[in-house]
Each structure stands twice: as C-alpha cells, then as structure tokens.
Structure 1
Amino acid sequence: MHEAGEILLTLFTVLLAAGIGRVISLRLNIPFVVGEILTGVAIGPSVLGLVHESEFLRVLSELGAVFLLFTVGLETDVREMIKVGFPAVLAGTLGVVFPFAGGFAFARQFGSNFIEAAFLGTALVATSVGITSKVLLELDALKERYSRVILGAAVLDDILAMLLLAGVLGLKAGGISAGEVLVPLLTALLFVAIFMFGIPLLLKRFLSERKRIEFVQSPILPVITFLFGLSALSTYIGLAAIIGAFLAGLTVSELREYYRIEEEVAPIYALFSPFFFVFIGLQLDIRIFLRPETLTLIVLITILAIVTKFAGASLGAFTLGRQEATIIGAGMVPRGEVGILVAGLGLNLKVISMDVFGIVVAMSILTTLTTPPVLACLINKLREKQERVPAATR
C-alpha cells in the first residue's frame, strides 16, 4: 500500500476506535478515557493487530497530551492555585517519597540490584496528570479546590521525578555530583515559577491597562505557536512537554476575557486527544498476563503503586478534609505514559529486564484504567453531600 494510504488508514482506524470507545463508555456510564484506552488495546498488536506502535502515532499521542494539558491550563486560575500552595506541595512531595520507597524496597526484596530497584522506584513516582485532567474536564470540576491541588502537586511531582531520574542515571554512570542534581532542579523550579505565576500575573496587569491585544484575524496562530514553543522548552530543561503545555494554558487563560480562545482550541483538542489515550492501549501486550509468575508480580506492583501514591498524596492533603484528600489521592494514582517512559529508558540502558519493563507497562496502564471510574465516583459522592447540606439548612 502507498505510504500516504497507510497513514490515512491508521488515522481512520484510531479515530474510529476512539469513537466506538466513547459510545461504549456512554452506554456503560464510565469516563470516555477508559473506553478509548480499551479500544486501543483491541486494535493493537496483542488483539486484532490493526494498528502498531510507530513514531508517527507517538508524535500524535504527544500532541494529544499537549493540547489536553493546554486546555486544562486555560480552565485554571493562577490566583486560585496560589491559595492551595501548601497542600499541593505536601501532596506532591509525599506522593513521590512513598512510591519511590515502596518500589525500591519491593524490588530489593525480590532480588533486584540497587540500580534496578532505584529504576523501579522511579517508574512508580510520576503521575500522569493527563488521565486525571481528562476526567476533571468531563465532570466540569477543574475549578474545584481539589483539582487545583492535584494539578499543582502533579507539576511538583514531575520535577521531583526528573531529579530522581537524574540521580539514578548518575549512579548508573558511576557517580553524580551535587551540581549535576541542583542545577537542573533549580532551572526547572525557576521555569515553573516564571510561567505559572510571574508571566500570567504580568499579562493580567498589562491587559487591565491596555484592555486588549490586537491580532491579525485570530489569536489562534500565535497562541499555538506559544504553546509549542513552551512545550519544547520544557523538554529541553528535563521536564515533560505536558508541563510546558499546562503552563502555556495558564498564561493564555488571561486572554479569555477578550478572546474566545477555548472555542477556537476545542476542535483541535477534540482531534488530537484520542490519539493520546488510544496509544496508551496500543502499548499493552495482554500476552504478558498468560504467565502466572509475571501476572502475580503485575498484581503486586499495581497494588503497591496505587496504595503508596494514594497514601502519600492524600496524607499531604489531609488539611482539606477526608473527602477532598481522598479525591486528591485517587487523582494522583495514574502513571500512564510517564512510568512507561522511565521503564523504557531503563530497558534501553540494560538496567532492567524485558520482564520488568512489561510489568511496569502493565502497571501504568492498569492504574490508568482503574483511576477514572473511581475518581468520578468520589467526585459525584462529594457533590451529592454538598447538595444535601444546603438543602438541610433551608
């Protein structure tokens, strides 16, 4: 088949699968993300074999994640995020410490060497905020306090994961200096501080005086240019592209009073976001579940990943009350593409085996699949409680 024809057929298959996944999700009353991931598994190499992993799909998946987090940033108020600074920092920090310590201890207990155990611990650390963000968007919950804590904690989570990964890679190379850890850490913190707080607040002040920025025809081209630029810059300083996308959304959100940015971005987001979730499903090889010893390890690692992340993040947010802390803990659970990325790096460096890589991939996807319905249930329960309280006081 002609190369252009193959690409178009792949696009058709993925988008059709995503659409079918959404219909199934609607019928079963579960979040769309679950249906899209499961249809990704179905059309992937381990079931129907209609679509295989490729660099082309990987790029589209990354674009889907970028537009997803940009949309989340657009819906987020910087001033409201500042108000939840302490619980977000504590939830993010404990949400890193607990999974890393748990993963490291587990691997050592099962005979892994120090470096392999450190890689497994690091793979359990970073939250895939894209999964949780999708659920929060679907439930129109992005303006809630717990959502702002999750987003703030996830940004810190990514920075600390980068620091841990740098440390583990340094150990693999035979040593690491304080400067090799501190310089990238401080650079990442400065980058986040400037674009999370500094630039949006300066733009707000500028707009309050000028009222409007004049664009030729539409602001969408300069906005997307800024989005791609900041996402790329984020990767160059060691963070995920989605962190830069989220920060770009925070900055551009200051233009919402003057331009219909969300309406113009929505069709682009709707086109690319399915590739992100379907691609996650494509990466799961269900044959890994056929070996009893591997299946046992997958179950144990997945339980460990859920319990340690939930315990750390919810404990960090305890000052917000039990129900909100529970939502925050659940929202930080999915690992998604981040855990797969770390495990893939370990496999390429021959630090972890193919079996361990497969286990981490399965864990990442299982935590991604289990989180959305649980998170939706917890949020709906909190809303029901909040609706009953005012009714009881009338």
Structure 2
Amino acid sequence: MDWIGFYNIIVSVGNFFNKNQSIIDVIIVLAAIKAFGHISKVLGQPSVLGKILAGIIIGPSFLGLVTQGPLIKGLAEIGVILLMFLAGFETNTNRLLRSLRPATYSALLGVMIPLVAGFTAGLFFGYGRGESAFIGIVLVATSVSISVQVLREFGRLQSKEGFTILGAAVLDDIVGLIILSVVMGVSIGGLSTLHIGTVLLKVIVFFGTAIFIGKYFFPLLFSITAKMQVSVPVVTTCIIVALIYAVAAQYMGLAGIIGAYLAGLMVRSANQGGTLLNSLETVGYSFFIPFFFAGIGLEVTLGCISTEMMSFTAAIILIAVVSKFSGCALGALVGGLQWRPSLIVGAGMIARGEVALIIAKFGNDMGLIGGELFTVMVIMAIITTVLSPPLIRLFIRY
C-alpha cells in the first residue's frame, strides 16, 4: 500500500469518527457506566459511586474520551427526571406525611446551618456580603436524586429515613428558593414584600394545581391511554407527565426534580400498578438514567482552580459536608428519629449535585459571583455528591 492510500484511509476513519462522535459518546458512556457500576458493587460500594467515577475517568479530567455535549446533557436531564419520577411512584404518600415532622426539622436546620456557615466562610476569605450570601445559598442546595438511588439499592427508600430525606428535600428546595429571591432582591435593590409574596404564591399555585390535576384528571387520562392501540401507551404517558411536571416546576422557579417527584406521587395515586413500575425502570435504567450519573463526573475539570484558591476550595467542601450533615441529622433526631436513621438522613442530604450547579450557574450568569468562585462551587457540588453514597452505606451498615 502506498503512502497516499494509507493517508486516505486515515482521513476516512477520522471523518467517520467526527461525523458519528455523538453516537460514539453514547456508546462509551453506557459501557463505562455499567462496567464501573458493577465494579463498585463487587467492591461493596453502591453502584452509583462507580457510575459517577466512570464519568470522571472518561471525562476531560482524565482520559478525555467524552465531553458534556448537548446530546449527553439532554439525556442526563431526562434521566434525572425519570429517576425522581420513579422515586415518587414508589413512595407511599401516607407514610411520607407521617414523616413530615422530622423532615421539617431536618430541612430547617439543614438550611440554617449551611447558610450561616457559608456566609461566614465567604466573609472570612475576603468576599463581599453579596458573594458570601450566595455561597451560603449554594451550600443550602440538596440533590436528593443521588440519595434516592442509593436508598433504592439498599431497599431503604420506603424507610423512615427515606421518607424524611424525600420530605426534607422538597422543603429544602422551597426555603432555598425564597432565600435566593431575597438575596437577589437585595443585590438589585428591589426587595419588597410583594417580591417575596410572589415567590410564595408561585410555590402554592404549582403544588395546588399539580395535585388537583393529578387527583382529578390522571385517572381519566390513564383510562383513555390504556385503551389506545399503540405500543406501551401508558408508559409513554407517564414519561410525558413527568416531563411536563418538571418543566412546570422550573417555570415556577423550583427544581425540575421536585416536579418530577410530585408527578410520580400523583401517578401512583391514580392506581397504576407494579407492572408499570417495571416497565418504567427498564426504560430509565437501561438508557436515560446512566447519563445523569455520568454527567456529574463529566462536569469535573481538575486543574481549573488556581493554587491560591486551593485552601478556600478545601474549606468550602469541608463546611458543605459538616454543616449539611450536622444540621439535617440533628433536625431528624429532634423530629423523633433514632440515632442511626438520623445519621443516614444527614448523609443523604449532603449531595449538592445538579441543584447546586443550577444555582451556581444562575449566580454566575447574573454577575452575583465571578468565574473562579463559580468553579469552586462546581467542584464542591461534585465532591459532596461523590461523598454521599459511601457515607449512606456506612451508616446503613453501622
């Protein structure tokens, strides 16, 4: 073979990979997620830990095989919505309401302690009041989706600590939204009682409308779709409902995962059975949900923090872990849970995940924080998310 022919082959191969890069990314992510998840289970750890580490290893920080492109990001967003929808679908509403007291205490202390700790840390490291307040807000955030997966693996999602974590996460999101609105109002000089009242009204309207529709229209909706002469109409309807509720929650200023979780609760109340759950799990876990876990790891970009920021980054991570763990665990204990379930609640609320990433990006876009501080918040969100699964496992086995 002459050199020209060899060169043409190399060019052809390069063109093929360039044209099909998105599909190749999907293949790499799915293979890596399953492989590392399996290895994690073999080593006695939750599979979700291995899945997140898979994203870090194949991402820009190590091998650089996959980047967080539009396709991967879109699949990840659908994945977390389906994950939380499944969590809501599996939740016994009556038992959830019985856990409202420890969930409330856990949410309140889990908001107050990280907020004060983050604000104080920001001032200590020389940031202004506005930036320090925003650091505290990011530390308030909780991503319950990681904890849901770990609790499902250990069969503890329907336990007292599982219901407490779910309830506290919903309340945490609402309180965090109100605090964010207050800080934004102060920063732009437009804070008023009307502004805070508008936020509260949006929350009430969303939950009221979502529950009303779920209770009175879902039974009719599913009775109609079940008779449709197409493939798996009910499963498709569930996915549509989950996406609509997630988008509606985001429109009202809440995290989309809260809307997806509420959608799952409402579908369960419409008397949909276990066969549907199995079908939804197959759709979610075989394709969409793995991209959510991989996406967390793909967000990590080591080396983007200057040497001067290392100590601040380490301090923020430590404060994020200790403040959330102590606040939520103490709240659960005061609310009536025993020591071990309270420790599990504390560990389950540590993960900041995509909720903190969304808030941090919002602050960066609005000019409330700078690029370097934004990067610190991203690293904090990733590290706390990675730490949460092994801590939950530790206290479950304790």
Q: Specify the alignment match of 1:390 in structure 2.
A: none
Amino acid at match of 2:228: V
Match of 1:216 among 223, 228, 236: 228
Amino acid at match of 1:322: W
In 2, the alpha carbon distance for the partners of 1:89 and 1:179 equals 25
In 1, the alpha carbon distance for the partners of 2:196 and 2:387 equals 34
| Residue 297 (str. 1) matches residue 312 (str. 2) | yes
Conserved in 2, the CA contact under 8 Å of 1:92 and 1:316?
yes
**1:324 to 1:26, Cα distance in 2 relative to 1, 3 A:** closer
Structure 1 stretch displaced more, 211-220 or 315-324: 211-220
Q: Specify the alignment match of 1:391 in structure 2.
A: none
Q: Specify the alignment match of 1:81 in structure 2.
A: 96
Conserved in 2, the CA contact under 8 Å of 1:288 and 1:295?
no
Q: Specify the alignment match of 2:11 in structure 1.
A: none
Alignment of 1:1-394 (within 5 A): 1=15, 5-192=20-207, 195=210, 214-217=226-229, 218-255=233-270, 258=273, 260-270=275-285, 271-288=287-304, 291-318=306-333, 319-381=336-398
In 2, the alpha carbon distance for the partners of 1:337 and 1:238 equals 15
In 1, the alpha carbon distance for the partners of 2:227 and 2:105 equals 41
Displacement, 1:11? 0.8
Displacement, 1:203? 7.9
Structure 1 stretch displaced more, 127-136 or 353-362: 353-362
Largest Rg, 1 or 2: 2
In 1, the alpha carbon distance for the partners of 2:209 and 2:102 equals 20
Conserved in 2, the CA contact under 8 Å of 1:159 and 1:189?
no
In 1, the alpha carbon distance for the partners of 2:217 and 2:156 equals 25
TM-score, structure 1 normalization: 0.89
Task: Name the SS for the 2:388 alignment partner.
Answer: helix
In 1, the alpha carbon distance for the partners of 2:238 and 2:112 equals 36
Conserved in 2, the CA contact under 8 Å of 1:70 and 1:249?
yes
Displacement, 1:126? 1.1
Q: What is the CA deviation profile of residues 92-126 of structure 1, one whole-angstrom value per residue up to 9, with x for unaligned ones?
A: 12111111111011101111111111111111011
Displacement, 1:190? 4.3
Q: Which runs of 5+ in 1 are unaligned?
A: 382-394
Displacement, 1:248? 0.6
Task: Give identity over the alignment, percent.
Answer: 35
Q: Specify the alignment match of 1:388 in structure 2.
A: none
Conserved in 2, the CA contact under 8 Å of 1:150 and 1:332?
yes
Q: What is the CA deviation profile of residues 235-275 of structure 1, one whole-angstrom value per residue up to 9, with x for unaligned ones?
A: 11011111111001111113456462101101211111111
Conserved in 2, the CA contact under 8 Å of 1:203 and 1:254?
no
Q: What is the CA deviation profile of residues 157-202 of structure 1, one whole-angstrom value per residue up to 9, with x for unaligned ones?
A: 1111111222222222222111111222232144335646x66666
Q: What is the CA deviation profile of residues 14-52 of structure 1, one whole-angstrom value per residue up to 9, with x for unaligned ones?
A: 111212211221232111111111111111112111111
In 2, the alpha carbon distance for the partners of 1:305 and 1:49 equals 28
Amino acid at match of 1:276: F
Conserved in 2, the CA contact under 8 Å of 1:34 and 1:372?
yes
Task: Name the SS for the 1:64 alignment partner.
Answer: helix
Displacement, 1:278? 0.6
Question: Paired residues, what number?
Answer: 375
Conserved in 1, the CA contact under 8 Å of 2:56 and 2:62?
yes
Structure 1 stretch displaced more, 265-274 or 251-260: 251-260
Amino acid at match of 1:272: F
Task: Name the SS for the 2:152 alignment partner.
Answer: helix
Q: Which runs of 5+ in 2 are unaligned?
A: 1-14
In 2, the alpha carbon distance for the partners of 1:136 and 1:16 equals 24
Task: Name the SS for the 1:350 alignment partner.
Answer: coil
**1:164 to 1:285, Cα distance in 2 relative to 1, 3 A:** same
Amino acid at match of 1:234: A
Conserved in 1, the CA contact under 8 Å of 2:210 and 2:245?
no
**1:259 to 1:137, Cα distance in 2 relative to 1, 3 A:** closer
**1:287 to 1:216, Cα distance in 2 relative to 1, 3 A:** same
TM-score, structure 2 normalization: 0.88
**1:193 to 1:78, Cα distance in 2 relative to 1, 3 A:** farther
Q: Specify the alignment match of 2:8 in structure 1.
A: none
**1:258 to 1:15, Cα distance in 2 relative to 1, 3 A:** closer
Conserved in 2, the CA contact under 8 Å of 1:212 and 1:258?
no
In 1, the alpha carbon distance for the partners of 2:179 and 2:200 equals 10
In 2, the alpha carbon distance for the partners of 1:195 and 1:78 equals 15
